[in-house]
Amino acid sequence: MTENPDLREYWEASSMLLPSISIDCAIFGFHDNQLKILLLKYKNTDFFALPGGFINQDENLEDAAARILEERTRLKDIYLEQFYVFGDKSRRFDKIHHQLMSGSGLKLKEGHFLLNRFISVGYYALIDFSKATPVPDILSDSCQWYDLETVPSLIFDHDAILNKALRTLRSNIDEKLIGLNLLPETFTMNEFQNLYETILGEKIARSNFQRKVLGMHILKRLDKKITGGAHKAPYLYSFDNKGVGK
Amino acid sequence: MTENPDLREYWEASSMLLPSISIDCAIFGFHDNQLKILLLKYKNTDFFALPGGFINQDENLEDAAARILEERTRLKDIYLEQFYVFGDKSRRFDKIHHQLMSGSGLKLKEGHFLLNRFISVGYYALIDFSKATPVPDILSDSCQWYDLETVPSLIFDHDAILNKALRTLRSNIDEKLIGLNLLPETFTMNEFQNLYETILGEKIARSNFQRKVLGMHILKRLDKKITGGAHKAPYLYSFDNKGVGK
């Protein structure tokens, strides 16, 4: 197996990185009532992982997270939120790193920074997956969207990271949905309810949903949607920025 | 100035610590309608700081935070919550560390781990300050409770960390108050409202407060409190654990 020169560079650049700290990103994608998660598959293995990376010595933590998101999706200026720091002492993945790297044609020497214990800062994002262009990283041969119901099992502790991200996304849904640009400028109550239900992964009674979101004072009711039968046309809504924030 | 042997040990132990990662704790104390914050004052300086520390190579992040809280308050099994990771590249405090250490009789040699950039994981706790025994750390000569209104200005970026912790505490008040043992087993609506108002730093109309907390279904109404004039006695409440969680 020959050594990959890009990877040798990757190795040599590790002194420019903050030691012992990584970033893992749960990038959720929504489109047409589907909720997906972006995963990488490591080269020449069946190992799947959340996208992630490291922090340059001269880079803000937030900027590193935004850079990783942009590298994997080509999207800029996406809302990313820290949701948890994973810091168990068991987070030392030397064996699996040896295996992963050998899949990419690299032998990790003793003392390589990847063999240390890492603390990982988890970020999540929720984007319209139809607007993203998934790009594999240097160690992976695919970067794709997976349905949450059929997500493969992940390496390291990434199953736990994904679960925690999903729980946080769901429990923050009321605060976070506004402004994430997952709906068109104007939308029907039905479209809004579908977004909620897709993210929560469960059905909500229509009357309960209406009472709840109207009570949040975040919506502005506009004209009716123009359809064939005007008397059955649903109202259109937009987010009422004046009402946002408590 | 002579070198302090305990501090030499502290220096030599630094290879046992995770590099570049620290913990800062905003320990809020509540008692008798007062909300306070625990601060350290560095030896022979006028520098105030939040309690904090580092993570041993063989220690879970959560355990390190609990250890720091216990070392500064002598309290065990306190609910501590991660609230944010502070990761700006400007978090390299070499000048001020030289100054602080010289106040403790130590000269930091080039390459000392304190001179590196640090990413800090912020934790907050809310405790009954009458139950804590504040204990200074090796670098400080006092550890005391300060009123939030008259808190001195803090070193590093600790003003920003304290502000973020306070905002998080206030925005999580509904979810977090239950089970924090800041009220006696049974309490009046008035006592409960005082706790809220003290933490939020603002008055709430009595009728609004009652409607809100009764709507949360977290309280169980018990008998009236026995006082002189029975017809004016307030009801007692306790937390209804069956109602907790949504």
Least Cα separation, residue A117 to chain B (angstroms): 8
- Please tell me which of the candidates A20, A64, A87 has its beta carbon nearest to residue B20: A20
Write down the pTM of the prediction.
0.89
Question: What residues pair up with B52 in beta bridges, in sequence order?
Answer: B24
Whether residue A92 is predicted with pLDDT greater than 50 in this model: the reply is yes
Quick one: pLDDT at residue A12?
Answer: 66
A58 inside 8 A of chain B by CB: yes
Give the gap in angstroms from C-alpha A172 to the nearest C-alpha of chain B.
Answer: 12
- pLDDT tens digit sequence for B38-90: 999 999 999 999 999 999 999 999 999 999 999 999 999 888 999 999 999 99
Nearest C-alpha neighbor of B162 from the set B74, B51, B33, B58: B51
| pLDDT of the residue at B117 | 95
Interface test with B, best of A67, A119, A123 (most B CBs within 10 A): A119
- The topology (CATH level 3) of A5-171 is Nucleoside Triphosphate Pyrophosphohydrolase (3.90.79)
Asked if this assembly's ipTM is beyond 0.85, the reply is yes
Instruction: Quick: pLDDT tens for A3-54.
Output: 566 666 666 668 899 999 999 999 999 988 899 999 999 999 999 999 999 9
Helix (H) / strand (E) containing B101:
helix B94-103
Contacts of B85 in chain A (CB under 8 A): 61, 82, 85, 121
Q: Is the pLDDT of residue B37 over 60?
A: yes
Shortest CA distance from B59: residue in chain A: A89
CA of A1, closest CA in chain B: separation in Å?
A: 34
Tell me, which fold does domain B187-243 have in CATH? Arc Repressor Mutant, subunit A (1.10.10)
| Separation CA A7–CA A232 (nearest Å) | 61
Could you tell me which of B231, B235, B211, B234 has the C-alpha nearest to residue B221?
B235
Would you call B84 and A84 a contact, using CB atoms and an 8 Å cutoff? no
**How far is it, in rounded angstroms, from Cα B133 to Cα A183?**
53
B5-171 matches B187-243 in fold: no
Interface check for B55 against chain A (CB to CB < 8 A): the answer is yes
Selecting from A18, A64, A89 the residue whose C-beta is nearest the C-beta of B20 gives: A18
Sketch the domain layout of chain A as residue ranges: 5-171, 187-243
